[in-house]
Amino acid sequence: MSSLRFIGVSWLLQLKMIMRSPFDGIGNVLYPLFFATTAFFVFQAGRSPRTLVYAALGAAVMGMWSSVSTSAGSAMQRERWWGTLELLVAAPRHFSLVLFPSTLGLATVGIYNLAATLLWGRFAFGIHVTIVHWLLFCLSVGGTVLAFGGLGLLFAVSFVRFRAAWVLGNFFEYPVWLICGLLVPLALLPAWVRPISWVLAPTWGMNAIRQSALGGSPVNDLLICLGLGLAYVAIAVLVTDRVLQDARARGTLSLT
């Protein structure tokens, strides 16, 4: 219970800090909107109303992913710059528990991205997305946020020894947009890409959101998305232990 309270309080604190950050709070919301707008124009020029609705939901999840990928990779880098990394590592809580609220906060900003993109599509492009199963839709969005937070945590701890961690976060933005079927049906991609997309939670989160919005059955997709999110967290905990042990032994935590 105390761990949940710790995550809750830390998540709120991180969310407030993210919302005050011009890069995370404004830049990460605006940037995917430009891509969404371009995609809307492309699909509109293709003149297919069905693909416009498909694109609107995909573009919304694009924004969710952007807010995680570009900043979660550098979450530990930021602590290093602020001089707080050593203090956090020395705290009595497991370090991954300290870091998870940060990436969860970034994923939560993704909900704002999702809403902003859907509203932008509605008012600027006249794309009417009718949500068929509201409850399942909300559950799908919540589950996707949790899974994105887990994946962000895995990014954050995996890149801790990498001085330019933010680059890797940026680097994964386009590939996930492409291979998780956010804007392009997976059937259009080469067959060898599909197994990669299956181990990425955004693929299943996207499916769950689309199915719940358009009237399908999202439960299986949502469960797989949550399962992958849990797996990311478990792997991240193991990676954290290994990385911190190594950093302590070599005295390289600060990378100075």
- Cα separation, 245 vs 215, in Å, equals 48
Q: Could you tell me the smallest distance in angstroms from the CB atom of residue 171 to other proteins?
A: 5
The structure tokens 């956090």 sit at: 88
Q: Could you tell me the smallest distance in angstroms from the CB atom of residue 112 to other proteins?
A: 16
22 in contact with other proteins (CB under 8 A): yes
Q: Could you tell me the smallest distance in angstroms from the CB atom of residue 183 to other proteins?
A: 5
Q: Could you tell me the smallest distance in angstroms from the CB atom of residue 51 to other proteins?
A: 6
155 in contact with other proteins (CB under 8 A): no
Q: Could you tell me the smallest distance in angstroms from the CB atom of residue 188 to other proteins?
A: 6
Nearer to other proteins (CB atom), residue 9 or residue 26: 26
45 in contact with other proteins (CB under 8 A): yes
Q: Which of 161, 170, 216, 241 binds other proteins (CB under 8 A)?
A: 170
Q: Which of 19, 51, 111, 219 binds other proteins (CB under 8 A)?
A: 51
Nearer to other proteins (CB atom), residue 34 or residue 123: 34
Which among 55, 35, 149, 172 is positioned nearest to 102, based on CA atoms? 149
Q: What is the DSSP string of 210-235?
A: HHHHHTS--HHHHHHHHHHHHHHHHH
Question: Do residues 120 and 35 make contact, with C-beta atoms less than 8 angstroms apart?
Answer: no
- Amino acid type, 256: T
48 in contact with other proteins (CB under 8 A): yes
Q: What is the DSSP string of 153-194?
A: HHHHHHTTT-TTHHHHHHHTHHHHHHHTTSSS-GGGS-GGGH
223 in contact with other proteins (CB under 8 A): no
CB count within 10 Å of CB 99 equals: 26
43 in contact with other proteins (CB under 8 A): yes
27 in contact with other proteins (CB under 8 A): yes
Question: Do residues 238 and 153 make contact, with C-beta atoms less than 8 angstroms apart?
Answer: no
CA angle, residues 152, 157, 158, in degrees to nearest 5: 95
Footprint on this chain of other proteins (rule: CB under 8 A)? 22-23, 26-27, 30-31, 33-35, 37-39, 41-46, 48, 51, 162-164, 167-168, 170-171, 174-175, 177-178, 183-185, 188-189
